[in-house]
């Protein structure tokens, strides 16, 4: 009789599937995917210097995806993960919007650069939306913390 053994990655895959189904998991997965597409577009263009933004933002999104998926944010409380994530998303939105506008405006004759710029504008909007959702979460957690009072006299 063969015993069915669960693979050591079974729990991790279940966490991955469950986290991608959440709103934050979907946003982070979309940020990783669109950063990878932008990386390919910029790498194919004659101006490869813009790949640094896509690489950095993709790596940071992967790190935060893993931290939130494995719930390491609850174990490492030294770092304020919500504020760090807000800073990451806001900087990502600003960098993508700036570099994408430069690429779209000055990318005459370089189709890959223009395509990367268009995807970068979409990524800037996605990162801005992520910043907005994190800000709302921070705002609601601050109001809940301020509302708790001790009635003991």
The dihedrals phi and psi of 120, each to the nearest 5 degrees, come to -65, -35
Q: Which of 90, 118, 94 shows the shortest CA–CA distance to 104?
A: 118
Predicted confidence at residue 109, as pLDDT, reads: 85
Q: Which of 9-18, 91-100, 143-152 has the highest mean pLDDT?
A: 91-100
| pLDDT at 32 > cutoff 60 | yes
Most confident of the ranges 1-5, 49-53, 58-62: 58-62
Residue 104 has which token pair?
Answer: 């779209």
Domain residue limits, the chain: 15-141
Query: Looking at the chain, which runs of residues are DSSP E strands?
Result: none
pTM: 0.85
Distance of CA 52 to the CA centre of its chain: 16
CA 56, CA 31: separation in Å to the nearest integer?
12
Q: Over the stretch 75-109, which tens digit does the pLDDT of each residue have?
A: 988 989 999 999 999 999 999 999 999 999 987 88
Q: What is the mean pLDDT of residues 9-22?
A: 84
For residues 132-136, give the mean pLDDT: 95
How large a percentage of the chain has pLDDT more than 90?
65
Distance CA 58, CA 36 (A): 7
H helix or E strand, kind and range, residue 122:
helix 111-147
Q: What is the mean pLDDT of residues 69-73?
A: 90
Q: Which residue has the tokens 């991790």?
A: 12
The confidence score (pLDDT) of residue 1 equals 46
pLDDT at 149: 58
Supply the mean pLDDT for the chain.
88
Residue located via tokens 């001790």: 150
Task: Give the whole-angstrom CA distance, residue 44 versus residue 145.
Answer: 49
Tokens representing 58 are: 């993709």
State residue 102's pLDDT score.
92
**How far is 79 from 82, CA to CA, in rounded Å?**
9
Comparing 66 with 1, which gets the higher pLDDT? 66
Buried b (16+ CB within 10 A) or exposed e, 33-54: ebbebbbbbbeebeeeebbebb
């Amino acid at each position: 009789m063969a015993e069915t053994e669960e693979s050591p990655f079974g729990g991790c895959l279940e966490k991955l599937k469950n986290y991608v189904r959440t709103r934050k998991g979907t946003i982070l997965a979309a940020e990783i995917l669109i950063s990878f597409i932008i990386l390919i577009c910029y790498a194919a263009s004659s101006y490869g210097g813009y790949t640094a933004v896509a690489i950095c933002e993709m790596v940071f999104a992967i790190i935060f995806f893993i931290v939130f998926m494995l719930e390491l944010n609850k174990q490492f409380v030294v770092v304020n993960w919500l504020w760090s994530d807000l800073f990451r998303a806001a900087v990502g939105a600003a960098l993508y919007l700036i570099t994408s506008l430069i690429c779209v405006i000055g990318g005459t004759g370089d189709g890959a650069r223009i395509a990367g710029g268009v995807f970068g504008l979409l990524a800037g909007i996605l990162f801005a939306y992520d910043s907005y959702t994190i800000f709302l979460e921070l705002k609601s957690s601050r109001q809940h913390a301020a509302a708790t009072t001790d009635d003991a006299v």
